[in-house]
Amino acid sequence: MMKLYYGPGACSFVPHVGLEAIKAATGEDFEAQSVKLHKGEQRTPEYLAMNPLGLVPVLVDEGRALNQIVAICDYLDRGFPQAGLLPAEPWQRAQAMSHFAWMNNTVHPTFTRIYRPGNFVASEAAQAELRQAALASFREHLERIQAMTAHAAPFLLGERLSFVDAYALVFLRWGGLVGIDPDTLPAYKAFAEKLAAAPAIAAAMAREGINLDTYKKP
Ligand SMILES: N[C@@H](CCC(=O)N[C@@H](CS)C(=O)NCC(=O)O)C(=O)O
């Protein structure tokens, strides 16, 4: 049975949703192992043996460990195309990967600079400056995702729920944690609320013990 190591509310939500969708479409079950990131469980020797980067997610299948969201999700989709988590037609798939790659290599690292500026620069002043600049960029990225939701039919890639939808939900939750009020992104908020009712998303949210209500006034 496949096993996913995830952090509640972290980016590992994206393959977590995929595994739920696969289970619903094919009956293929999986194990989900929570990793307490705030306690540093991702840096134990056992965990580092699976992922030397010390990050979630990790997917273990047949004793082999795979890291990186995009690689894990591509593997899941190729193994279980019936779940429709990425389009099969080459051009549509490339477009989907373009959105997915942007989310993973641009939006996600921008958030890391807001949440953990100390990973990048040392002084208090530099951290404050980095956080502020990254926050402005992150907001722009969320607005771009909000613009994408205008064409959702009903999901970002069309009829089927995809990894891109799950990532979009993660980013709106994260925005709330750093003071971006979802009410200032009303179409995005409404889209996330719709997503939260989709069975695979609802199941992953329930297991992770998370909801959409993360906004804290700065
Ligand atoms: N590029 C990686 C990013 C993974 C990542 O940033 N994971 C974060 C959670 S969203 C993490 O494990 N952070 C723990 C830490 O930094 O110690 C991927 O796509 O899997």
Q: What is the tens place of the pLDDT at every residue in 96-150?
A: 999 999 999 999 999 999 999 999 999 999 999 999 999 999 999 999 999 999 9
Report how far residue 22's alpha carbon sits from residue 11's, in angstroms, rounded to the nearest whole number. Answer: 18
Q: Which two tokens stand for residue 96?
A: 């989907």
Instruction: Measure 204 CA to ligand 1 centroid, in angstroms.
Output: 18
Whole-number pLDDT of residue 216: 87
Instruction: Measure 41 CA to ligand 1 centroid, in angstroms.
Output: 13
Q: Which residue among 14, 47, 53, 56 is best mutated to probe the pocket of ligand 1, counting the most ligand atoms within 8 A of its Cβ?
A: 56
59 lines ligand 1 (CB under 6 A): no
Would you list the domain boundaries of the chain? 2-83, 90-198
At 79, the pLDDT band (50, 70, 90 cuts) reads: very high
Predicted confidence (pLDDT) per residue in 178-203, tens digit: 999 999 999 999 999 999 999 999 99
Place of tokens 């540093």: 40
CATH 3.40.30.10, domain 2-83, yes or no: yes
Q: Which residues pair with 32 in a beta bridge?
A: 4
Task: Give percent above pLDDT 70 in the chain.
Answer: 100
Q: Which atom number of ligand 1 is nearest to the Cα of residue 57?
A: 20
Whole-number pLDDT of residue 133: 98
Report how far residue 73's alpha carbon sits from residue 86's, in angstroms, rounded to the nearest whole number. Answer: 9
Q: Provide Rg for the chain, Cα atoms.
A: 17
User: Angle, to 10 degrees, between the axis of helix 124-149 and the axis of helix 163-177?
Assistant: 140
CATH number of the domain located at residue range(s) 90-198 in this protein? 1.20.1050.10
160: left (phi over 0), alpha (psi -120 to 50) or beta: beta
Q: Which residue among 6, 11, 113 is best mutated to probe the pocket of ligand 1, counting the most ligand atoms within 8 A of its Cβ?
A: 11
Whole-number pLDDT of residue 185: 98
Instruction: Measure 175 CA to ligand 1 centroid, in angstroms.
Output: 16
Predicted confidence (pLDDT) per residue in 6-16, tens digit: 999 999 999 99
